[in-house]
A = this chain, B = another copy of it.
């Protein structure tokens, strides 16, 4: 995430938590900031390292609890295939998320195609499955890396 996007995400998070009556504490805010400041998905233990550099006490549960909150609020996403986290580009609308993961540069984009989402819901329904949430992670090459040699 770019620096200005990061500031915007933090501001949006403040507003959303305010509106929802949930508490974006100092720790949670700081974890969100760390995630958003990272250009690429960041792991929980990397977040923990940054917190420790801040001089905070900290153990894994510290980070995971903050991440659980941020996930619940839709402010960050977890990429299951990478065991890592990224800031959400559009936190206002809760969404499962479709992620474009570049195998070359490691960058991650959000797709959020309603067409894809609806297609999945329909295809699942056709076999009797009631879809609630979906996790779509797409590996390949981003536009910038698309034509680069292997």
Task: State the number of copies, please.
Answer: 2
A140, B129: Cβ atoms under 8 Å?
A: yes
A141, B129: Cβ atoms under 8 Å?
A: yes
Instruction: Give the Cβ gap from A111 to chain B, nearest Cβ, in Å.
Output: 6
Of A13-21, A24-32, A114-122, the one contacting chain B is A114-122
Chain B residues near A81 (CB-CB < 8 A): 80, 135
A80, B129: Cβ atoms under 8 Å?
A: no
Interface size on A, residues (CB 8 A): 33
Chain B residues near A60 (CB-CB < 8 A): none
A134, B137: Cβ atoms under 8 Å?
A: yes
Chain B residues near A136 (CB-CB < 8 A): 120, 134-136
Q: Which of A92-140 contact B (CB under 8 A)?
A: 98, 100, 102-103, 109, 111, 113, 115-116, 119-120, 123-124, 127-140
Can you name 10 extra interface pairs (CB under 8 A) apart from A111-B129, A131-B139?
A80-B135, A80-B137, A113-B119, A115-B119, A129-B146, A132-B140, A133-B139, A133-B140, A135-B136, A136-B136
